[in-house]
């Protein structure tokens, strides 16, 4: 048996035993607590949050008194949380549902005096990027409080989109940014299917219902349909950057051909306000706001999500799993504000 398969079986066995034990404990605790009053029900909810994870768990220690600046972490691919009890968020690092709830809580918090976006992301889905952007703009409109953005190792595409909600944007000198644009990816595997004797057969209501299918070449008409979607999302992106940077749409479009920029190039082109180390940036925010306390939410992952997240990193992926992941992420047919990592 191959080493990969042996390792996978051992990890699967461990997870099976752990999940079985946890399931027994959960059932026993649920049966015992079910007979008690409302207070006990709350304890059960708390236990389930600890086990499976939740947005409330991540925000449980939000300051109840004393002024503070809220750090909003934008880490990993911007995408839907998936509703898998924090497991997907634990693996990816980005938890969309938690961030939306977080900003809502900040709007209602009188002790909050501003937001710092800490961005380390290649971008992500158009829908989620715009939804969080609009929530951040709602925060500014309702509270009148400032937002600062700090770009870490990577802040591309959808990351730039979200950074455009900030009043000021700064980056580390080694930051990679830019990649302003939109992409819809699909794969044409019809040649491969033909070689291995697979033929895709779709029963459709109209000729374009199965457009983007990997088993059939895309027609010129279908490419034009996708191009219209990309163009509309691109115009929206460019308009947001132009407004945020006080630039004309034409000037932004001259920069927005999908290329990436160094931090120095971004400053020279007016895309960010300056270059600072993270320590310098934090001190700058303290000086500007007069507030010295920062708050960052904890992990919303429960014990099970952490377990599965760790296991997924330990267990090596087969070549087939790598291909499936790539197709799922980049060939979904969904418009993305996304920069493909170099070499992918």
Burial of 272 (C-beta count, 10 Å sphere; 0-12/13-18/19+): buried
Residue owning tokens 């790539």: 326
Residue position matching structure tokens 């493909």: 340
Q: What are phi and psi of 204, to 5 degrees?
A: -120, 155
Q: Residue 201 corresponds to which tokens in the numbers above?
A: 């057969």
* Catalytic positions: 157, 209
Extract the tokens encoding 332: 């979904």
Using the structure block, give the residue that is written with the tokens 């267990």. 315
Q: Give me the residues paired with residue 177 across strands.
A: 155, 261
Evaluate whether 158 touches 124 at the Cβ level (below 8 Å): yes
In angstroms, the CA 237 to CA 215 distance is 32
What the block records as the tokens of 127 is 């829908």
Cβ(12)–Cβ(19) under 8 Å? no
The CA distance from 260 to 154, in Å, is 10
Q: Hey, is 212 helix, strand or coil?
A: coil
Beta strands 260-262 and 176-178: pairing type? antiparallel
């Amino acid at each position: 048996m191959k080493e990969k398969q042996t390792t996978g079986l051992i990890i699967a066995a461990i997870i099976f035993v752990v999940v079985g034990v946890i399931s027994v404990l959960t059932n026993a605790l649920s049966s015992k607590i079910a007979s008690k009053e409302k207070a006990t029900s709350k304890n059960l909810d708390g236990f389930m949050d600890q086990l499976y994870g939740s947005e409330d768990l991540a925000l449980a220690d939000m300051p109840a008194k004393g002024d503070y600046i809220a750090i909003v972490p934008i880490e990993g691919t911007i995408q839907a949380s998936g509703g898998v009890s924090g497991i997907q968020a634990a693996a990816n690092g980005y938890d969309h549902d938690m961030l939306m709830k977080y900003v809502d809580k900040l709007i209602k918090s009188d002790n909050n005096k501003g937001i710092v976006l800490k961005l380390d992301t290649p971008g992500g889905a158009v829908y989620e990027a715009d939804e969080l952007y609009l929530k951040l703009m709602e925060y500014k409109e309702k509270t009148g409080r400032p937002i600062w953005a700090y770009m870490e190792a990577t802040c591309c595409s959808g990351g730039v989109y979200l950074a455009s909600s900030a009043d000021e944007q700064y980056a580390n000198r080694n930051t990679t940014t830019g990649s302003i644009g939109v992409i819809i990816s699909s794969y044409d595997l019809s040649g491969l299917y033909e070689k291995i004797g697979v033929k895709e057969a779709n029963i459709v209501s109209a000729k374009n219902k199965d457009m983007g299918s990997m088993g059939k070449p895309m027609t010129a008409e279908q490419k034009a349909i996708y191009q219209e979607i990309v163009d509309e999302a691109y115009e929206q992106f460019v308009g947001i950057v132009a407004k945020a940077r006080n630039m004309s749409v034409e000037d932004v479009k001259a920069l927005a051909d999908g290329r990436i920029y160094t931090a120095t190039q971004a400053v020279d082109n007016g895309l960010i306000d300056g270059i600072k180390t993270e320590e310098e940036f934090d001190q700058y925010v303290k000086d500007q706001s007069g507030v010295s306390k920062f708050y960052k939410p904890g992990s919303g992952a429960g014990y099970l999500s952490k377990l599965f997240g760790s296991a997924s990193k330990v267990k090596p992926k087969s070549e087939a799993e790598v291909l499936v992941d790539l197709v799922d992420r980049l060939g979904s047919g969904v418009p993305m504000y996304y920069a493909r990592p170099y070499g992918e």
